[in-house]
Amino acid sequence: MRVTVWCRSWPRVVVTLGLLLSAAGASLPAAASSVTVRGTELMVDGVPFVANGASGLDRLGDLRGTGAGVLRTYGEEPGEILDAAQRAGLKVIVGFWMEHPRRGFDYGNRQAVEAQLGELRKMVERYRTHPALLAWGVGNEVETELTPEQAAPVWPAIEEAAKLVHTLDGAHPVMAVLADTGTDKVTRLKQQAPSVDLLGLNVYGDSVLSIQARARSQGWTGPILVTELGALGQWQAGMTAWGAPVELTSTEKADKMRRYLGVLAQAKVAAMPFYWGQKQEVTPTWHSLFLPTGEWTEPVEVMAQTWGGKPPGGDNHAPRILSLRLDGVPSLPRGGTAKAVLSASDPDGDPLKVEWQIMAEQKVRGVGGDAEPVPPTFAVRAPGPTEATIADLEPGQYRLFVTVKDGRGAAATGNLPFEVR
C-alpha cells in the first residue's frame, strides 16, 4: 500500500547508556546508533529492538507516547522527517520508492533502472549518518498485481538496490517490503535478493495471525517486521450485492487489532499499524487512525495498551459503537426512505456528540494504496443522537457515515453502504 502525498514520520529516544530497550520499541541514544542483525533479531547498540511504530507525517509526539519507537516512510524526501523524528524520540526506517511494473515501469530498461539507482544513491549518501536513521527500506510491494513471470525482474532489481545501499552505508540494515507472503514470494526474495537483511510484510485481517509462520516456512531466517497491518483490508471484506466492501466500525477494528498486536508482541515481531493519520481509501475512515478534525480512534488506544504507553488523550478512553444498523433493506427504490439506528457508549461516561453524513460510494478504486479522490457528500434528514433518516437521493450508491465524539479528543466511526435504485 502506498500513500502518495501525506506519508509518514519517524523515531528516536534518549536514555542513559546501558538502559535496555523495551519490546515496544523503547528508548534509544541521542547519538548515531549501531544497528545490526543477529539471527531473527534487530539489534540497536547491541540490544534487541522490536521496531513497533507506524507511518505518518504528523503527531510524532503522540506516536511516541503510545510506546512506539519507529516511523516508516515510503519514499518521501526524508530530511525534515528524520529531524522531526529525532526531536520526537523516534527512529526512522527510511523508504526508497522503487517504481512498480504495474504502473508502467520496465525493469528491462537499463537507463530507467540506472536513473532510479542514482536517486537511491543520492538519498543514502545524504542521510546515512543521521542519528534518527534505523534502516533503509528499498521498495514497497513492487511485486503487486504481477504474475510470477511478470515479477521475475523485480527480485534482482531489489537485490541491486539493496547491494548498492550496503556499499554506501555499512552501518544500517536494508529492508524490502512485500504484500503478504504469497505462495513463494518470500522464497524468491531470499534466493534472488540475498543482500536484504530485514523482511517487511504488509498484512491485514486474520492473515496477521499466521504471518510469521508462513514467512519462516518459505525459508526466511532473519528479522520479520509487519510494516503495515489493519483489522481488515477492503479486498478481504464482505461485499454488498452491488460490490461495495463492508467496513468495520472503529470499535470492531479495535477488538481485532487488540488480538493482532498481542500475538505479534508475544512473538517479538515488530508491528506498524496503518495509517498514522487520515487517508481516503475506499472511505475516509477505512485505514485512518485519526479523523480529519484530529480526533483519534480506539485502535490508537489499543496500540498504547499493547506497547505500554498512552493514547493522545492520556487516561481518556475512546467512545465505542455498540451497534449500527439500517432498518429496512439496503437497496431503496427511488423516493424511498430508510432509518439508521445507532447505539454508542463512552467508557468514561463523557457526553457524546453524534454526527451523520452521506457520501457517494467511491467509484475510483486505487490499487496498492494509490491515491483516490474524495467522493461528494450529501445532507442527512433529521439527524439525531441515536438515529438518522435516508431520503431524497438520486439513484446511485452511497454510504451513511456516523462519527461519535467524546469532546476530549477521541472518536468512534462507522458506516453503512446502501443504494437507491
Decide if pLDDT at 16 tops 70.
no
Decide if pLDDT at 26 tops 90.
no
| pLDDT tens, residue by residue, 210-264 | 999 999 999 999 999 999 999 999 999 999 999 999 999 999 999 999 999 999 9
Which pTM does this prediction carry?
Answer: 0.91
The pLDDT score that the predictor gives to residue 4 is 36
The pLDDT score that the predictor gives to residue 363 is 84
Nearest to 6 by CA among 69, 65, 81: 81
| pLDDT tens, residue by residue, 92-138 | 999 999 999 999 999 999 999 999 999 999 999 999 999 999 999 99
CA distance 152 to 158: 11
All domains of the chain in start order, with CATH: 35-230 (3.20.20.80), 320-420 (2.60.40.10)
- Residue 17 confidence class, pLDDT cut points 50, 70, 90: very low
CA distance 199 to 2: 17
Poorest-confidence range of 9-18, 134-143, 152-161?
A: 9-18
Question: First and final CA of the chain: distance in angstroms?
Answer: 33
CA distance 398 to 417: 6
The pLDDT score that the predictor gives to residue 329 is 83
Average pLDDT over residues 127-152: 97
Decide if pLDDT at 3 tops 50.
no
The pLDDT score that the predictor gives to residue 30 is 53
**Higher pLDDT residue, 112 or 57?**
112
The pLDDT score that the predictor gives to residue 365 is 76
**Higher pLDDT residue, 365 or 101?**
101
CA distance 22 to 101: 39
The residues, any chain, with a CB within 8 Å of residue 109's CB and separated by 6 or more, are: none
From the number of C-beta atoms within 10 Å of its C-beta (0-12, 13-18, 19+), residue 131 rates as: middle
CA distance 184 to 24: 30
- Residue 288 confidence class, pLDDT cut points 50, 70, 90: very high
- Residue 1 confidence class, pLDDT cut points 50, 70, 90: low
Percent of the residues in the chain that have a pLDDT greater than 90, as a whole number? 87
Average pLDDT over residues 165-185: 98
The pLDDT score that the predictor gives to residue 12 is 26
Decide if pLDDT at 71 tops 90.
yes
| Helix and strand numbers, DSSP H then E, in the chain | 9, 19
- Residue 15 confidence class, pLDDT cut points 50, 70, 90: very low
The pLDDT score that the predictor gives to residue 31 is 62
Phi first, then psi, for residue 146 (nearest 5°) are -115, 145
Mean pLDDT value across the chain:
92
Average pLDDT over residues 144-151: 95
